[in-house]
Amino acid sequence: MKTCFNLCLALSSLLPLPLQALESNAPLLTLEQAVQVALEHNPDIASARWNADAAAAAGDTVRARRLPSLKLHGSYDVASEDQRLFPATANGEAGVFGSDLMAADAVLSLPLFTGGRLRSTVSAAELLRQAAEGGLAYTRETVVFNVTSLFYNMLAQREVIRSFESAVSATAEHRHSIEAQVEAQKAARVDLLRAEVRLAELKEKLTRERNTLTIQRWALAALLGTETGGTAPDVGGDLLPVTMSSCPAAADCLRMALAQRRDYQAALQQTQAQDESIKASRAGYFPTLSLQASYGGRWIGNISDQPAGSDDSQDIGRIGLVAEIPLFEGGAIRAQVREQTARYHARQEQVRKLELLIRTEVEIARAEMASARERTEATAKAVEQARESFRIIREKYDLGKGVIVDVLDAQAALVLAETTYARALADLAVSDARRKLATGELTP
């Protein structure tokens, strides 16, 4: 599954984004609503759900092989020499002869012994069904994480836009103040030029940030899997510090992840299914025994000899045991066992790779949680300090005791502090969701 970041990049390269504010009539979604819509309409989840249904149907197909089968069998043969309608049942018994033979039978077959092939095949199919359901569950968890991550990043992006809009408004107001002071010969014209340059820079950055939010909205539309009607969905809510769940020690987190991750459990079940496939292949060395019975009729046409009183049709039934003993298969059974064994070892390596990946994801999630918590605390204080600093420096300039460069620098510092704090809040929520995804706790 593509990450939200890759999805945003793909959309940004395809969409001709307008340089205007977002549509006012776009539907506003809460996180819970967005997750619910994605769980119902996301194409990855739908695909995984169909795969789970296919695995269940494959299991039913395999289990059906253990049950009796009843078939209708018909034939029509034309012989080069006349044939008897049915074999004689006594010495000297007269019979009907002809060249056209027709038959229709109901045939019953029941496997009695297959050397464990059916049992292993059924076990493998059941394990693959469970693995498919685990894959579906993990796909749902991944979609929930991607929606959560994008949702909080969109909230952060809105805060970034608000910060730039506030800066644009404040700079425009400050520019009018400087212009009045220049006309009154209380400020140098270069101050006005610097303010105009800064205002143009802020407007350009504001446009870029709005376009970024547009990209995110279309990325959300793709994750939700719904038709947009030309208008991408939007998110609503306040970006507030989340209450992070407790994070146990790394070793405990890893044990929790291996016990709860549905993708890891699915990988183990696929490996066990492959082991059952090896057993099924080895069963090819053993004989098979089945019960077969049939009952039907025989008819003859183009009769060449028919004794008086005889009939040109006859009902015939039979029942018996059929045994097959493999004597020579040209090495096919041995090659099949070798193939399944190689696939089993390949699955084991995939499980080992997934264990290493899970350990990495757990450590990354723990590090991101600690970093996001520290950044949020630090940037919250920085925002307060930057606002106070900007207020003081601007008042000094208005009183003729400061320089325009200090005002512009203080304003830039304030915008940076506010945007950094908003993104830190989003990272805090995303890191908590990432840790839950890594440890298998992010249940939809």
CB proximity list for 128: less than 8 A, separation 6 or greater = 55, 58, 59, 269, 270, 273
Quick one: tokens of 374? Answer: 């520290």
Q: Where are the domains of the chain?
A: 4-22+34-41+115-286+331-438, 64-85+95-113+287-325
Distances (CA, A) of 375 to 201, 264, 338, 426: 27, 32, 55, 11
pLDDT of residue 281: 95
Quick one: tokens of 380? Answer: 């919250």
Answer whether 4-22+34-41+115-286+331-438 and 64-85+95-113+287-325 agree in fold.
no
Residue 237 has pLDDT above 60, yes or no: yes
pLDDT of residue 89: 81
Quick one: tokens of 31? Answer: 């996180």
CB proximity list for 27: less than 8 A, separation 6 or greater = 231, 233, 234
Confidence of residue 32 (pLDDT cuts 50, 70, 90): very high
pLDDT of residue 26: 67
Residue 17 has pLDDT above 60, yes or no: no
One CATH from 1.10.8.290, 3.90.1150.10, 1.20.1600.10, 1.25.40.10 for 4-22+34-41+115-286+331-438? 1.20.1600.10
Q: Which amino acid is at 28?
A: L
CA atoms of 319 and 167, how far apart (whole Å): 93
pLDDT of residue 437: 93
**What is this structure's pTM?**
0.83
Distances (CA, A) of 319 to 289, 294, 299: 14, 6, 21
What is the average per-residue pLDDT within 438-444?
Answer: 86
Domain range 64-85+95-113+287-325, CATH architecture: Single Sheet (2.20)
pLDDT tens-digit readout, 162-202: 999 988 988 888 788 878 877 877 777 888 888 889 889 99
Confidence of residue 247 (pLDDT cuts 50, 70, 90): low
What 3-state DSSP class applies to 84?
Answer: strand
What is the average per-residue pLDDT within 86-115?
Answer: 91
CA atoms of 400 and 412, how far apart (whole Å): 21
Quick one: tokens of 328? Answer: 């020579």
